[in-house]
Amino acid sequence: MQTSPFRTVEERKVEREQKREAVLRAAVRLFNTHGFHAASLDDVAASLGVSKPTIYHYLGNKDQVLFECVTRGIEQLRDAASAAREHPGSGLDRLRSFLRHYAEITMGDFGRCVIRTSDEVLSAESADRFRELKREIDGAMRALIAEGIADGSIAPVNVKLAAFTLAGALNWPARWHRTDGGESAETVATQMVDILTGGLAPR
Amino acid sequence: MQTSPFRTVEERKVEREQKREAVLRAAVRLFNTHGFHAASLDDVAASLGVSKPTIYHYLGNKDQVLFECVTRGIEQLRDAASAAREHPGSGLDRLRSFLRHYAEITMGDFGRCVIRTSDEVLSAESADRFRELKREIDGAMRALIAEGIADGSIAPVNVKLAAFTLAGALNWPARWHRTDGGESAETVATQMVDILTGGLAPR
DNA sequence: TAAACGATATACTCGCTGGTAAAATATAGA
DNA sequence: TCTATATTTTACCAGCGAGTATATCGTTTA
């Protein structure tokens, strides 16, 4: 395809959006590997071959960069939740479907950022919004568990604590799983979900 | 009891040790609430009513302060592991005992610090040591699971992944559980362990 | 062609915080 | 009492990194 150096208004808008996205991708990678504080915006810029003010041209400040990253991740989780709601089968089946997606997402770039970002590093306002978004995901998970209990496919457990237990277990790979070596995210996800839903004790 | 202002050599040694401990306690609290980077050594010193160089008189530098904190936490976990090994009953019983202690410890000050501290914030050397110590705890957990499988009290699962699943789930309260409000650490621990060992599906 | 606009870079400020030098004060022991 | 040692402070330095003022250059549009 022939690309002319003369862009239409629409093309320029798209290009700007792509660059913005590229900044976020580069940022989230560095945040995940080095940690938010250790990754400077100079580093992020350098990894893209540009200079720091370019980042400010596309995003407000470091806090906003991080907030956008976690928002991307939360959105993926939200999508997984609504997909699970439409999944056929029992409540347990739907929950399992969600859990597997949840695990896979949190092993990806933006999902991992959601897990690794603790509230204190965000500005007070962003932290509030972030908590709110996370609460939404937690709510979705609790709803699925409750449905499963209602239709008898899940044992009557403390819903709140069960949600935390499941999320906690599935969040952990975000801290150790390396995409390069060993098991695929899918394998890990499936096995963990099996352990969680089946329990340890033999039947 | 009468305390004279004139201390013996032994008393002075003890007092020094107490002050060192007080620094660690103050530090770990601030690290846990504000995060390692956001909590400055000036803050830590201020919370004790002393000045920053005093901290350096008892501990080398900020990295070492953190490392000592996580070491304290790891030691508690290690003690729990050896206690569990001597616990009577089946492999599953021993594992459950360990898991409950594990959960309670990681809701305490030093244990929480172990969970909340990601390797990147430590110096390269401290991070190596830290990983080593964590590997030891992981090894203990895997051994308990393997024993349970051997004696038939635990279903034949992937030991490595099971250990990560259990640890991940139990680590999570370190990030949200507030000691002040709601359930006690013990209650949370017990319920989570029940969910993990029993699974979600009804029997 | 001129003016406006968008994208990017250079080069800077400024605050914060880890870390230290040196002095002051107290305590212990000879 | 004098000296050595332990404890703690004040006052400082250095570096890093977030964020900004301003210039440049190309592109669009009137």
* CA A193/CA A201 separation, integer angstroms: 15
CA nearest neighbour of A22 among A65, A75, A60, A63: A65
Instruction: Name the least confident of A79-83, B8-12, B56-60, B104-108.
Output: B8-12
| Residue B35 to residue A154, Cβ atoms within 8 A | no
Residues of each domain in chain A carrying CATH 1.10.357.10: 63-197
Strand D contacted by B48 CB (< 7 A): no
| Residue B196 to residue A196, Cβ atoms within 8 A | yes
**Backbone phi, then psi, for A138, in 5-degree steps?**
-60, -40
Residue A165 with chain B: CB contacts under 8 Å: 169, 172, 192, 195-196
pLDDT, one tens digit per residue, over A58-100 is 999 999 999 999 999 999 999 999 999 999 999 999 999 999 9
- Which class would CATH give A63-197? mainly alpha
pLDDT, one tens digit per residue, over A43-56 is 999 999 999 999 99
Look at the block and give the residue holding tokens 């739907």.
A94
* CA B27/CA B9 separation, integer angstroms: 27
Look at the block and give the residue holding tokens 């439409």.
A86
User: What average pLDDT does the structure give for chain B?
Assistant: 93
The pLDDT score that the predictor gives to residue B2 is 41
Question: Using CA atoms in the order B53, B56, B57, B60, what is the torsion angle rounded to 10 degrees?
Answer: -170
Indicate whether B174 pLDDT > 80.
Answer: yes
Regarding predicted confidence, which is higher, A37 or A3?
Answer: A37
Q: Which of A120, A197, A201 sits opposite B92 (nearest CB)?
A: A201
Amino acid identity of A68?
E
Strand C contacted by B38 CB (< 7 A): yes
* CA B80/CA B171 separation, integer angstroms: 15
Q: Does domain B7-60 sit in CATH 3.40.605.10? A: no
Indicate whether A1 pLDDT > 60.
Answer: no
Instruction: With cut-offs at 50, 70 and 90, classify the pLDDT of residue A105.
Output: very high
Range B114-124 average pLDDT: 96
Question: Using CA atoms in the order A34, A38, A39, A40, what is the torsion angle rounded to 10 degrees?
Answer: -170
The pLDDT score that the predictor gives to residue B139 is 98
Regarding predicted confidence, which is higher, B180 or B55?
Answer: B55
Residue A157 with chain B: CB contacts under 8 Å: 195, 200
Instruction: With cut-offs at 50, 70 and 90, classify the pLDDT of residue B3.
Output: very low
* First-residue to last-residue Cα distance in chain A: 61
Q: Which of A34, A169, A201 sits opposite B165 (nearest CB)?
A: A169
Indicate whether B13 pLDDT > 60.
Answer: yes
User: Where does chain B have alpha helices with state H?
Assistant: 9-34, 41-48, 52-58, 62-85, 91-105, 109-116, 124-150, 159-171, 173-176, 185-198
Strand C contacted by A57 CB (< 7 A): yes
- Length of chain B in residues, anyone? 203
Residues of each domain in chain A carrying CATH 1.10.10.60: 7-60
Amino acid identity of B103?
A
Q: Check: CB of residue B31 under 8 Å from CB of residue B69.
A: yes
User: What average pLDDT does the structure give for chain A?
Assistant: 93
- Length of chain A in residues, anyone? 203
Flag whether residue A14 sits within 8 Å of chain B, measured between CB atoms. no
Range B22-50 average pLDDT: 97
* CA A14/CA A19 separation, integer angstroms: 9
Regarding predicted confidence, which is higher, B11 or B57?
Answer: B57
* CA A164/CA B176 separation, integer angstroms: 10
A13 contact partners, CB below 8 Å, separation of at least 6: none
Indicate whether B6 pLDDT > 80.
Answer: no
The pLDDT score that the predictor gives to residue B9 is 62
| Residue A199 to residue B202, Cβ atoms within 8 A | no
pLDDT, one tens digit per residue, over A137-183 is 999 999 999 999 999 999 999 999 999 999 999 999 998 877 666 78
| Residue B155 to residue A192, Cβ atoms within 8 A | no
Tally C-beta pairs within 8 A across A and B.
136
Q: What is the pTM of this model?
A: 0.92
Strand D contacted by A9 CB (< 7 A): yes
Flag whether residue B173 sits within 8 Å of chain A, measured between CB atoms. yes
